[in-house]
């Protein structure tokens, strides 16, 4: 069976973005003009996902608000004859069936995913970490959903990363079975570099069998004192195979200010309305000196 539902955990405090995240969830910060949560929803919908469940914390109404109708704006765009923009705005709430569950305590990514169990039920499902922005011509999650259905197993997205990133990610020990597909032997969350089995890191896309919920139910706190999805997948491996998909394309970690800035620049350089002016500014940037402040 193919996954038709997606879980998007967005409940974190976004401490790497303070002070901005005091008021606005980081998944709503714009990559040029489009928030990461919109990119994730678009990738899901392109892959045939019909239902998206956000796992939110208190004070995050803005995330579901983004996907609801905005009648005053629609009326204003209509009055101004901005029909193309109106069409785009109406399409957002219509992308999928959006709902949310409240994660009352911040007990980690595994705990957040477990909170969505009633909405997912007994079927395979996709998980998106919207901080991981992946730009490809074909949605990565679509390939993973197909692979998971073909193998009847869970599939995680992976990518080779440099040594300095290893201690901040989930790392897998895996062997290539064909093309970009690997069979996973072992997973470890945020290992010290000397303990890491490889440089193949988990990036925020998963297609999981529903048995993961039983594993999460009994998973103790792991790295950082949190309930980790990586540990639950490691337990799942005892009863089911797990595959990894090494995805092509461009990836940005938009969960950090620098990553968000890089993604915004990348997006602006792809667009006709912004690329020429940005290029000209970047070319001249060495010439820009801070004006002296008169005392
Ligand atoms: C989470 C996962 C980790 C994965 C990473 C990808 O970590 O626990 O295995 O490599 O996302 O972004 P976090 O970034 O939430 O600490």
Q: Is 80 exceeded by the pLDDT of residue 173?
A: yes
Q: Quick count: other Cβ atoms within 10 Å of Cβ 250?
A: 11
- Which tens digits make up the pLDDT trace of 237-282? 999 999 999 999 999 999 999 999 999 999 999 999 999 999 999 9
Contact 133, 252 (CB under 8 A): yes
- Ligand 1 centroid distance, CA of 201 (Å): 9
Residue 289 domain-assigned (yes or no): no
For ligand 1, atom 1, the nearest C-alpha belongs to 169
Mean pLDDT of 114-141: 96
Residue 70 domain-assigned (yes or no): yes
**Dihedral sign of CA atoms 215, 211, 138, 175 in order:** positive
- Which tens digits make up the pLDDT trace of 205-249? 999 999 999 999 999 999 999 999 999 999 999 999 999 999 999
Give the pLDDT band (50/70/90) at residue 286. Answer: confident
Contact 78, 86 (CB under 8 A): yes
For ligand 1, atom 15, the nearest C-alpha belongs to 109
What average pLDDT does the structure give for the chain? 94
Q: Is 90 exceeded by the pLDDT of residue 104?
A: no
Residue 200 domain-assigned (yes or no): yes
Contact 267, 133 (CB under 8 A): no
Q: Where are the beta strands (DSSP E) in the chain?
A: 5-9, 51-56, 97-102, 125-128, 132-135, 154-160, 170-178, 181-189, 200-208, 242-246, 250-253
- Ligand 1 centroid distance, CA of 164 (Å): 15
Give dist(CA 95, CA 42) in Å, integer: 8
Among 11, 165, 169, 221, name the best residue to mutate to test ligand 1's pocket (greatest count of ligand atoms within 8 A of Cβ). Answer: 169
Residue 293 domain-assigned (yes or no): no
Please report the atom of ligand 1 found closest to the CA of residue 253. 12
What percent of the chain is modeled with pLDDT above 70? 97
What percent of the chain is modeled with pLDDT above 90? 90
Domain count, the chain: 1
Residue 277 domain-assigned (yes or no): no
Give dist(CA 8, CA 123) in Å, integer: 16
Specify the pLDDT at position 289.
Answer: 62
Please report the atom of ligand 1 found closest to the CA of residue 255. 14
Specify the pLDDT at position 290.
Answer: 61
Residue 18 domain-assigned (yes or no): yes
- Which tens digits make up the pLDDT trace of 5-32? 999 999 888 999 999 999 999 999 999 9
Specify the pLDDT at position 58.
Answer: 87
Find the residues whose C-beta lies inside 6 A of ligand 1.
Answer: 109, 129, 131-132, 169-170, 189, 201-204, 228, 230
CATH number at residue 31: 3.90.550.10
Residue 282 domain-assigned (yes or no): no
| Domain assignment of residue 164, given as a range | 5-271
- Ligand 1 centroid distance, CA of 204 (Å): 7
Q: What is the pTM of this model?
A: 0.94
Mean pLDDT of 56-62: 88
Give dist(CA 181, CA 233) in Å, integer: 17
């Amino acid at each position: 069976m193919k996954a038709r539902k997606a879980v998007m955990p967005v409940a974190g405090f976004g401490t790497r973005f303070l002070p901005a995240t005091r008021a606005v969830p980081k998944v709503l910060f714009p990559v040029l003009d489009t928030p990461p949560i919109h990119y994730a929803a678009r990738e899901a919908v392109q892959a045939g996902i019909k239902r998206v469940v956000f796992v939110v914390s208190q004070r995050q109404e803005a995330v579901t608000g983004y996907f609801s109708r905005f009648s005053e704006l629609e009326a204003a765009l209509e009055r101004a004859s901005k029909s193309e923009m109106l069409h785009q705005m109406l399409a957002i709430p219509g992308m999928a069936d959006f709902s949310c569950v409240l994660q009352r305590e911040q007990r980690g990514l595994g705990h957040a995913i477990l909170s969505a169990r009633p909405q997912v039920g007994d079927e395979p499902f996709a998980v998106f970490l919207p901080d991981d922005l992946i730009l490809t011509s074909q949605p990565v999650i679509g390939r993973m959903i197909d692979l998971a259905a073909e193998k009847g197993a869970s599939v995680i997205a992976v990518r080779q990363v440099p040594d300095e990133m290893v201690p901040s990610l989930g790392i897998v020990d895996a062997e290539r079975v064909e093309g970009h597909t690997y069979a996973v032997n072992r997973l470890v969350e945020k290992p010290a570099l000397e303990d890491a089995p490889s440089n193949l890191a988990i990036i925020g896309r998963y297609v999981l069998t529903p048995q993961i919920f039983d594993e999460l139910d009994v998973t103790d706190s792991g790295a950082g004192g949190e309930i980790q999805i990586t540990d639950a997948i490691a337990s799942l491996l005892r009863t089911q195979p797990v595959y990894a998909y090494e995805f092509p394309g461009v990836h940005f970690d938009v969960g950090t200010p620098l990553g968000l800035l890089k993604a915004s620049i990348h997006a602006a350089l792809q667009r006709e309305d912004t690329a020429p002016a940005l290029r000209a500014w970047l070319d001249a940037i060495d010439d820009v000196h801070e004006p002296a402040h008169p005392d």
